[in-house]
C-alpha cells in the first residue's frame, strides 16, 4: 500500500529533531498524522510542519505509562477507525569518555526513553497495525547498536535491545500472515537544518538529514509488507 488520504499514522516523539520533517513528508503523501510527545505543547512543534492545517494533530501522552499508551491507542482507533503506521522517533543519548566512567544512571534513563516507550507503543498498536491490512511499525536505530564504542555502552545496549524488540514484532507479523511490517532504519546520527545553521563550517560526516530519513519512511509504505518486514535498513554510510 502507498499512503493516501485514508491513511492514519502515529508519530511518537514528534517534538524531537526529526518529528517535523517526518510529519511534513507523511502529510505531503496524504496521511493524517497523530503526533505524540510528552505534552501537547511539545507535540505541537512537530505537527506545525504539516503541509495542510488540520492534517496533523498533537497529543500529549506519557509513553512510559503502558495503560495510558493503550488508552491513547484505543482513542485513536475510536476516532479514526484505523492505524496504518507507527513511527518511533523517541530518542535520547548519554555517554562517557571511557567505559569505566559509564554511569548506570544513564542506562536507566536510556532504558526508559529508548526501550520502554518502544515496548509500550508496539504493545498498544500491534493489533491495529495488523488489522489495517498493510501496516508499518518503524524504529529509528543507530549504528551504535551493532558497533558500540567504549564510551557508548549504555546507548549502544539500549539501541540493540530496541532493535531486538522490533524484530520480535516483525516475527509476530510474519506469523500472522505478513499483513504488516516492522522495520529498523539505522543512522549514525541525525542532521537538521538548525544544526547546520548553528555550525555552518561543520562537515557532519555520516549523518543522515532528517528530510532524507522522512523520505525513507514514506517509501516503506509503498513496498510490500512481506518484502520489508524484519529488515534492518542502514541509511548511514
- Helices vs. strands in the chain: H and E counts, helices first: 9, 9
Do 109 and 92 touch, CB atoms closer than 8 A?
A: yes
Q: What are the pLDDT digits (tens) for 113-152?
A: 999 999 999 999 999 999 998 999 999 999 999 999 999 9
Q: Average per-residue pLDDT in the chain?
A: 96
Three-state SS for 158-209 is HHHHHHHHHHHHHHHHHHCCCCEEEEEEEECCEECHHHHHHCCCCCCCCCEE
At 143 the pLDDT is: 96
Do 179 and 134 touch, CB atoms closer than 8 A?
A: yes
Segments of the chain scoring below 50 in pLDDT: none
At 209 the pLDDT is: 97
- Is the pTM here over 0.85, yes or no? yes
Between the alpha carbon of residue 156 and those of residues 12, 124, 149, 226, the distances in Å are 21, 25, 8, 28
Amino acid at each position: 500500500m502507498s499512503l493516501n488520504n485514508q491513511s492514519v499514522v502515529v508519530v511518537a516523539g514528534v517534538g524531537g529533531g526529526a518529528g517535523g520533517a517526518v510529519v511534513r513528508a507523511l502529510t505531503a503523501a496524504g496521511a493524517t498524522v497523530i503526533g505524540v510527545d510528552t505534552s501537547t505543547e511539545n507535540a505541537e512543534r512537530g505537527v506545525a510542519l504539516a503541509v495542510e492545517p488540520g492534517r496533523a494533530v498533537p497529543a500529549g501522552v506519557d509513553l512510559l505509562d503502558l495503560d495510558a499508551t493503550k488508552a491513547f491507542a484505543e482513542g485513536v482507533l475510536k476516532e479514526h477507525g484505523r492505524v496504518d503506521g507507527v513511527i518511533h522517533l523517541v530518542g535520547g543519548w548519554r555517554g562517557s569518555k571511557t567505559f569505566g566512567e559509564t554511569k548506570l544512571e544513564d542506562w536507566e534513563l536510556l532504558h526508559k526513553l529508548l526501550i520502554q516507550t518502544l515496548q509500550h507503543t508496539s504493545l498498544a498498536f500491534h493489533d491495529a497495525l495488523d488489522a489495517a491490512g498493510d501496516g508499518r511499525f518503524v524504529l529509528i536505530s543507530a549504528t551504535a547498536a551493532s558497533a558500540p564504542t567504549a564510551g557508548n555502552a549504555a546507548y549502544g545496549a539500549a539501541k540493540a535491545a530496541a532493535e531486538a524488540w522490533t524484530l520480535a514484532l516483525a516475527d509476530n507479523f510474519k506469523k500472522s500472515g505478513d499483513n504488516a511490517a516492522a522495520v529498523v532504519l539505522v543512522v549514525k546520527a541525525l542532521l537538521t537544518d538548525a544544526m547546520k545553521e548553528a555550525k555552518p563550517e561543520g562537515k557532519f560526516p555520516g549523518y543522515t538529514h532528517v528530510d532524507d530519513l522522512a523520505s525513507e519512511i514514506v517509501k516503506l509504505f509503498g513496498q510490500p509488507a512481506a518484502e520489508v518486514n524484519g529488515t534492518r535498513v542502514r541509511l548511514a554510510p
